[in-house]
Structure 1
Amino acid sequence: MNADGKRTPCVIVRELRHGRGVFARRDLGAGEILLEYRGECVDQNAAFSRPVTNRFLLGLSNGRIINGDCRGNTARWINHSCDPNCVTVERKGRVFIRAARAIRIGREITIDQALGFAGAITPAMRARFVCHCGAHSCRGTKLIALGDDYLKAPDGVPAVTSLRSTQAQRIAPARIRVLERLPGNRIVVSWRQPGRACYSEQIWLPATATEAGLCALSMISFEAGARVFLPTGEPLPLNREERILADAIAALDPESAVRGCLRQLHEAVAATLARESGRPV
């Protein structure tokens, strides 16, 4: 059971000298979705003006901030690091924590809070949101500057990098459409995710999930052993860690089935005409 009284399969909350932290309760694979980050979504003015602890704040790609101290869950106990082992994934108005690399059992889960701030970051603001993560690439603050790629703080100390920096990079939400079914229980998927991967017609094959995850289409979690579809291609696609539950496409609309039949008919006719004309198929 976690701090909220609910079971979280991937992580566990533990007491630390400086408060609490979230740790892997089993080996985690790179790309694995760990849990959702919940809380109140507010603008910068509201977030920075409230007398709340900054450890429960998480910056979003649009500049808004989630306050995990209000209606938050286990994820609010994840500590900040300028060199985190997890990233945030924003999809359909929800935010999820994803492993950026393989994480061994018992290791602490960390994210970059990446609190976007519009304007010059003053010494007072840096002190309020100071970072002591100890990473080699530590910025010294949990803030990042919105807008310019590089800003100077009033005291001459370099300010943090912008939202376009590697440390604060967010994975853009993917636009996913199941276009049609193909013979052999295959599906054709349109996957468009600016900054990561764009595939207009990607073939996904049926498989059995080897580990727990989150359906990219329905955002429903599943356990190992679930029937899923996975992306294929050469070279290996950038979204190869993604999975779509078989149940999520069970009710594929009739129009897509018709498109699939028409496509197969078109290919068969084209092949017949090519053979009759002596052209290579």
Structure 2
Amino acid sequence: MTNAGQSGYEARQLIRAGRHTGQTSGMAPGFVQANLAIIPAAQANDFLRFCVLNPKPCPLIGHSEPGDWRLPALGRDIDIRTDLPSYRVWRDGKIATETDDITSYWRDDLVAFLLGCSFSFEAPLLEAGLTLHHHELGTDVPVYRTSIPTAQAGPFHGPMVVSMRSFKPADAIRAVQITSRMPGVHGAPVHIGLPESIGIQDLDRPDYGSPVPVPAGELPVFWACGITPQAVVEAAGLEFCITHTPAHMLVTDLRIADLSVL
């Protein structure tokens, strides 16, 4: 599932041309991937405040000007309307359709927000010798709604969403150490073990992504996830917005090392 040596620009060109239509985990290792939330300007300031109040699930790495589909600070020749493999169009808090091109839905009042994604720290975990079971299985990472509330901003409120990867205890400690240096892509986990204590009743039934069994002797480790805005949009009943389809990200030209802290 990895594409060693591939750049963010090369990944986007494949996606724009329709030559890559699946999930983006493993694409362009070392480059930052981003979750997407496109919000009408009337609610954009509230969404920006929501990101500031909830930096773990919503680490903001960039946003556009109203009506502008370009994001030059994040990568060469980005067109946010075409450069993700799949989008969700939402109306009144419900998914109206999924599509690989949102050009026909674009409006002059739309603001694109890009949030760091945990796919970005998978390459450093692999480089440290840790095993990622969803890579071995060729599936999406499992993602769950939790009972952890987010801080409300205007109409935006709802549960935190988390992604899960499991490790042996010593490897879980190493994963915490590695990801804690990357706050721009969710940083350290928000929870380890005991999924029921954060409202997850059955690990075999994720709300998004694919089920990935936790082997005996391993601990489930949960990171805040950039799908949180989709749960929030649903809770708020937002009249219109566009997001990425889970696991189908924007691959940027930013390097994960540029967002890391010592």
**Structure 2-normalised TM-score?**
0.24
Instruction: Give TM-score scaled by structure 1 length.
Output: 0.23
Structure number, greater radius of gyration: 1
Name the structure where strand makes up a greater proportion of residues.
Answer: 1
